[in-house]
Amino acid sequence: MAQLGWKIDLTRCVGCHACAVACKSENNTEPQTPPLPFRNVRGQGVNYRRVLYRESGTYPNVRLTFVTMACNHCKEPACLKSCPISAITKRSSDGIVLFDLDKCIGCKYCIWACPYGAPQFNETTKKVEKCTLCVHRIDAGLQPACVTTCTGRALTLETSFNSSLSGQNAPDGFAPASYTTPSVRFEN
């Protein structure tokens, strides 16, 4: 089975959030918070791709590393195994892990099972959603929106991901690759 995967160059990511904005735009996901605070109203929604901040070192030698993260479309997805109604599938043609929102009952088992925080509960729809690797774009022969928008070229889609590189050079705090064999590797 072929496997698509991510290569994330931690030296090139500048934390601009272009990938996260492109993902939101492409997938039309709801915002987490409203653009302007208004009468303590909080928007509800999901972010398929996020940019995390990792601080390291001690003064005066400190460092800030940005890590763009989304679903890793794991070789052995914990979310798939945890779903009690088989609403989650893994495509054999490319390894993309997909949720069937018509089947999803919103039990959140997949959220608790995923060591990378990819599945997210949508308060509006009462369903769980996550990155689809822009499957509609992949099927049309295009790259995911986050990859084409990355200004630093830190994010790359690998069309033949080698699972022996799973989690390679992962930043501190990244769950061990042995859990699910995530289709992501890092360069630093």
Q: What is the DSSP string of the chain?
A: ----EEEEETTT-----HHHHHHHHHHTPPPSS-SS-BTTB------SSEEEEEEEEETTEEEEEEEEE-----SS-HHHHH-TT--EEE-TTT--EEE-TTT-----HHHHH-TT---EEETTTTEEE----SHHHHHTT---HHHHH-TT--EEEETT--GGGTTTTPPTTPPPGGGT--SEEEE-
Task: Give me the percent of the chain exceeding a pLDDT of 90.
Answer: 82
Tens-place pLDDT, residues 62-101: 989 999 999 999 999 999 999 999 999 999 999 999 999 9
Number of structural domains the chain divides into: 1
Tell me, what's the pLDDT at 124? Answer: 85
Q: Which residue has the higher pLDDT, 32 or 126?
A: 126
pLDDT(40) > 60: no
User: Would you place residue 112 in the very low, low, confident or very high pLDDT band (cuts 50, 70, 90)?
Assistant: very high
Give pTM, 2 decimals.
0.89
97-99/88-90 β-pairing:
antiparallel
Tell me, what's the pLDDT at 77? Answer: 98
Q: What is the 3-state secondary structure (H, E, C) of 19-62?
A: HHHHHHHHHCCCCCCCCCCECCECCCCCCCCEEEEEEEEECCEE
User: Whole-number mean pLDDT of the chain?
Assistant: 92
Q: Which residue has the higher pLDDT, 107 or 29?
A: 107
Tens-place pLDDT, residues 157-182: 999 999 999 999 999 889 999 999 99
CA distance 146 to 16: 12
**Using an 8 Å Cβ cutoff, are 76 and 88 in contact?**
no
CATH number at residue 48: 3.30.70.20
- Tell me which residue of 94, 51, 90 sits closest to 70, measured CA to CA: 51
Tell me, what's the pLDDT at 34? Answer: 54
Write out the residue range of the structural domain in which residue 137 sits. Answer: 5-187
**Using an 8 Å Cβ cutoff, are 114 and 79 in contact?**
yes
pLDDT(183) > 60: yes
**Using an 8 Å Cβ cutoff, are 68 and 8 in contact?**
yes
